[in-house]
Structure 1
Amino acid sequence: MATVTELLIYPIKSCAAISVPEAQFHVSGLVAEGVHDREWMLVTHEGQFLTQREYPRMALVSPRIDGDAVEVTAPGMPPLRLPLAHDAAARSMHVQIWDHSVDAADCGDAASAWFADAIQGPCRLVRFRPDVHRPTSTKWTGGAPAETRFADGYPILVIGQASLDDLNARLQAAGRAPLPMNRFRPNLVVDGLEAFEEDYVESFAADGLALRPVKPCARCPIPAIDQATGIPGPDPLDILQSYRANPRMEGAVCMGMNCIVTTGAGSSLYVGQQLETAIAF
């Protein structure tokens, strides 16, 4: 048995999260108050996706749901409102996320200029179009279909609190400061598992909803970026490398499991809810 301790959506890819008390689990990711996870994204003028890898200041861009809009703030910037209603007249822009390319809706010059000032680099803001579907690779799902929006590869990332506690104990033993969970940018944080037990869970289930972990999450340098300051610091990957290199991922350092919804798409989970866990043998 596991307990949901946090639910997080990231309306704008690689920007700050919104912690919510309840969220719906759709096949393409979490939804809260009409806002989808990774619904917006910053790209170059050529359409290549941007993240904190290139612009660590993206960590300081903070969204919040405000009625019929997402209000976005950043240090030294006036707030920006992104309407939840889709603009049918928005210009289409072809964008690239890793090996995937999709048509997105360009959010216009004013929004793009705001974000360029906020991250101190040229960019365009785009939004996932409601008529577009981005299927995930079935290599890790055993052929089961799934989809996502602007997430890297899969719709939901789950991390157990005990896994972070284990890492922090090792960091402190090495004379280093512990890290908050936001360094690893999960959607669903659960308690009640052993450290890294999520690696071996066959399914998380509650009230007709079932999530299946399908692929270990290979970590990039983003966990080294302080999400409160946007400043890179010591990279925890050197500690993780000593015990979290995954041979199934060609030796990549992994923490957390990418999941898909297998049953009950559209159902909700809330913070404090208990999940039945089935271990894969």
Structure 2
Amino acid sequence: MTLSGIHIYPIKSAAGITLQSATVQARGLEFDRRWMVVDRSNRFMTQRKFPKMALIQVHLNSDTLAVSAPDIDPLILPLQPTDNEDSGAHLTVDVWGDRCDAISMGAESNAWFSQVIGQDCQLVYMPDNSQRPTDHGKYGNEQSVSFADAYPFLLISEASLEDLNGRLEAPIPMNRFRPNLVVKGCDAFAEDDWNQIQIGKFTFSVAKACSRCTIPTVDQVTGIRGKEPITTLATYRRWEGKIWFGQNLIQVEDASAKNSNLEDGKLEDSQLTVGDRLTIIS
């Protein structure tokens, strides 16, 4: 079994970016969901209520974050926003009841996202010193997560999507489910039975299956919501009152230990790369 896809979503609920390799950090893949759009109450906004967020494209450059959307000029923002408590840019935001520190990306970005989404909102960034434990502290404060719903990594196998597509009238792409890690070489839904796995140099515990909301029903190209694949998934992937697809992972070893290798110039020691071998530990 091998790692066949790596994806990050720098802005929560905006379009993702496909990578050949990604740096593993303490709260997930580098840049994954470090930005988020919040409403006037500083609560997170997603495709669940605003499906057109799927049309927001994100591009990462060496020192800038570029975003684009239909019928509006692109927006270029600094990759590292100014972290100055005296500037008034700091605020507390809400993600599924978790309250954590964030930095506003400024008036220009707020106006841009408000126009695109059609509601007053602002773009915020999670600084390194902002702490948000996974799943309300289930795994202890040492396990941090970004603005992702609950866990740092989401894994789905190609075979599971193939199984689903075999049941659908019109097949759908993997991006409907917004995984970080895609693997191949296993049976459909084999990941349901994994407890601990190794991918490349990294060991992960399978924290829990991923319960699915309505976002997979949003076409990521058009931003239009439909009924599938949730209707079909409900016929064979529903239990405990929820629909399940994919597995949430937590890294067993603190990624900061791996990242210490960066000081020695060993970037590859802190990275996952497409083609890395996946081994089932338990």
> Is this a same-fold pair by TM over 0.5?
yes
**Given that residues 154 and 259 in structure 1 are in contact (C-alpha distance below 8 angstroms), is that contact kept between their aligned partners in structure 2?**
yes
Residue number in structure 2 paired with 1:215: 208
**Given that residues 3 and 272 in structure 1 are in contact (C-alpha distance below 8 angstroms), is that contact kept between their aligned partners in structure 2?**
yes
Residue number in structure 1 paired with 2:117: 119
Q: 1:144 to 1:243 in 2, by over 3 A?
A: farther
- Within the alignment, does 1:146 sit opposite 2:143 as a pair? yes
**Given that residues 27 and 260 in structure 1 are in contact (C-alpha distance below 8 angstroms), is that contact kept between their aligned partners in structure 2?**
no
- Within the alignment, does 1:20 sit opposite 2:19 as a pair? yes
Equivalent of 1:272 in 258, 270, 275: 275
Q: 1:232 to 1:6 in 2, by over 3 A?
A: same
Equivalent of 1:201 in 183, 194, 198: 194
Residue number in structure 1 paired with 2:253: 263
- Taking the aligned partners of 1:179 and 1:137, their CA distance within structure 2 comes to 29
- Within the alignment, does 1:184 sit opposite 2:177 as a pair? yes
* Counterpart amino acid of residue 251 in structure 1: G
**Given that residues 72 and 80 in structure 1 are in contact (C-alpha distance below 8 angstroms), is that contact kept between their aligned partners in structure 2?**
yes
Which residues in structure 2 correspond to 1:1-281 (within 5 Å)? 2-31=1-30, 36-89=31-84, 91-137=89-135, 141=139, 145-171=142-168, 176-246=169-239, 250-263=240-253, 265=255, 266=259, 267-279=270-282
> CA RMSD for the aligned pairs?
1.6
Tell me whether 149-158 or 100-109 shows the greater mean CA deviation: 100-109
Q: Percent identity?
A: 41
Q: 1:84 to 1:201 in 2, by over 3 A?
A: same
Q: How far 1:139 moved relative to its partner?
A: 7.2
Deviations 1:227-269 (A, max 9, x none): 00101122311211111113xxx32100001101112624211
- Taking the aligned partners of 2:167 and 2:252, their CA distance within structure 1 comes to 35
Q: How far 1:115 moved relative to its partner?
A: 0.7
Q: 1:245 to 1:139 in 2, by over 3 A?
A: farther
**Other structure's SS at 2:167 match:** helix
Instruction: Name structure 1 gaps, 5 residues minimum.
Output: none
* Counterpart amino acid of residue 201 in structure 2: G
TM-score (norm. length: structure 2): 0.90
**Other structure's SS at 2:155 match:** strand
TM-score (norm. length: structure 1): 0.90
Q: 1:262 to 1:48 in 2, by over 3 A?
A: same
Instruction: Report the structure, 1 or 2, having the larger strand content.
Output: 1
Deviations 1:62-112 (A, max 9, x none): 111122111111111111112112302351111111120112111111101
**Other structure's SS at 1:164 match:** helix
Instruction: Name structure 2 gaps, 5 residues minimum.
Output: 260-269
Q: 1:139 to 1:112 in 2, by over 3 A?
A: closer
- Taking the aligned partners of 2:137 and 2:82, their CA distance within structure 1 comes to 35
Runs of 4+ that moved beyond 6 A: none
**Other structure's SS at 1:231 match:** coil
**Given that residues 7 and 18 in structure 2 are in contact (C-alpha distance below 8 angstroms), is that contact kept between their aligned partners in structure 1?**
yes
**Given that residues 3 and 199 in structure 2 are in contact (C-alpha distance below 8 angstroms), is that contact kept between their aligned partners in structure 1?**
no
- Taking the aligned partners of 1:140 and 1:254, their CA distance within structure 2 comes to 20
Residue number in structure 1 paired with 2:263: none
Q: How far 1:208 moved relative to its partner?
A: 3.1
Counting matched residue pairs gives 266
* Counterpart amino acid of residue 79 in structure 1: P
Q: How far 1:50 moved relative to its partner?
A: 0.2
